[in-house]
Structure 1
Amino acid sequence: MDRSRADVLPLSAVLGRGRAEWRPGVAQADGRGPGQGLRWLGVPRPAVGAPRRPGAIGSRPRGILRAPMVDQIVEAWRTNHRINLRLIERISDAGMRCTLSTRGGRNVVRQFAHLHNVRVWHLNRRAKSLAKGARTFATYDEPDRRALVAAMSDSARRVEDLFRLASEGAPGVRTIKRGLIPYLAYFIAHESHHRGNILLTLKQCGHPVDSTTRYAIWDWDRI
């Protein structure tokens, strides 16, 4: 094949030969008509064992996977939990009772209680042995700060155990179908969603957290 020009090829024709990119609206070479085509870029793959330049496609950034993958998963989860604890510590008593709902929706403290309850729900569904003895809050419970920290710390440890056991293929423990890392992402996405809701509620109600705390929750190397 002449690599000096940009040939339009179907995916099967270029796999294993080099890089390709999608070009919308280009007629495909296999006669299927206009649509999503692939344009050959003329950049062959490096030979097996050849050194890769920094930043090259497929190169590994320095320092990645210095610890076993499961340890990094657990550390990400612990960091997420520390952010929750930092917010619980810094939100005022009046702020904990704030809500933007006009129809009985969760206030701030009940949103934190909801995070704990969802963790326990997942434990009951995917690792029943780890859920034994875990307590949940009723829908309209407003636990005090000490009870909230104790409950969330307990469920965080149990979810951490779920991650470790799932990584070992332990019987009776499972994740979502897409795997362990997507499961971690699900948990953190859910809790981050509620943290954003909480911060907006506090701001709108006139009880914002201090700027140091707002910035600290994004400093994952230090928190």
Structure 2
Amino acid sequence: MAESSLLSESIIKTWKTGNRITSYLIENIPDDVWTESVPGYQQKTVRMIAGHLHNSRCMWLKTEGDKAPITLPEHVDRYNVTKEELLKALKVSSREILKLLEFYISLEKNIPGFALDAVHFLTYLISHEAHHRGQIIMVSRQLGHKLPEEVTYGVWKWSKRAKESE
């Protein structure tokens, strides 16, 4: 039983840290990069990639909404969301993802719409967000707005971001 409790606590802390890393990057995207078009795409912007992070969480919450005690957050308008609006939305969707993880950990069952357990789901969510964080960093460089090393290395400072997420 103690191992299960420790694993549960670790899963929750890991999600909180991953969410903090995503928020940290969003906080540090320069305003002039936020609305820039992604090279190679006519209509995709950095803002749209960032908004997708929250909206993807919402999609998973909706998929599992009838099975777990969660509240569905509102999607953001990826075309017009501000950084401040997105950061608020990410707090809400993070809280609901935590509830979803806690629910399925307590049941010790797979997440039906995902077909695997909470650890796999957590890994999927964090991998998805890391992929898009990398896109945002790369796009910033491609647009000639290389982010400060404090920011690009900051997304790898899990210990520091974990303390910030407590």
TM-score by length of 1: 0.64
Report how far residue 94 of structure 1 moved: 0.5
Among candidates 90, 97, 100, match of residue 159 of structure 1: 97
SS in structure 2 of the partner of residue 188 of structure 1: helix
CA distance in 2, matches of 1:142, 1:75: 31
Aligned length: 155
Which secondary structure state, in structure 2, belongs to the residue aligned with residue 130 of structure 1? coil
Structure 1 distance, partners of 2:41, 2:104, is 41
Corresponding residue to 1:130 among 55, 60, 70: 70
CA shift, 1:175, in A, is: 6.0
State the 4+ residue runs in structure 1 displaced beyond 4 angstroms: none
2:135 matched to 1:197?
A: yes
Matched, 1:143 2:81: yes
Matched, 1:102 2:102: no
The one-letter code of the counterpart of 2:100 is L
TM-score by length of 2: 0.85
Gap runs ≥5 in structure 1: 1-64
Q: Report whether the alignment pairs 1:212 with 2:118.
A: no
Partner residue, 1:23: none
- Is this contact kept in 1: 2:47–2:81, CA < 8 A? yes
Say what the alpha-carbon RMSD is for the aligned residues: 2.2
Q: Is the CA contact (8 Å cut-off) linking 1:77 and 1:160 kept in structure 2?
A: yes
Q: How do 1:23-102 and structure 2 match up within 5 A?
A: 68-98=6-36, 99-102=38-41
Distance 1:170 1:123 in 2: 18
In terms of fraction of residues, the more helix-rich structure is 2
Q: How many Å separate the matches in 2 of 1:146 and 1:89?
A: 8
What is the CA distance between 1:187 and its match in structure 2? 0.4
Between structure 1 and structure 2, the one with the greater Rg is 1
Contact 1:119 1:159 in 2 (8 A): yes
Question: Following the alignment from structure 2 to structure 1, what is the Cα–Cα distance between the partners of residues 118 and 7?
Answer: 10
Q: Which has the higher strand share?
A: 1
Q: What is the rounded CA distance, in whole Å, between the counterparts of 2:41 and 2:158 in structure 1? A: 35
1:11 alignment counterpart: none
In 2, Cα distance between the equivalents of 1:151 and 1:143?
Answer: 10
**Pair 1:115 & 2:58 matched:** no
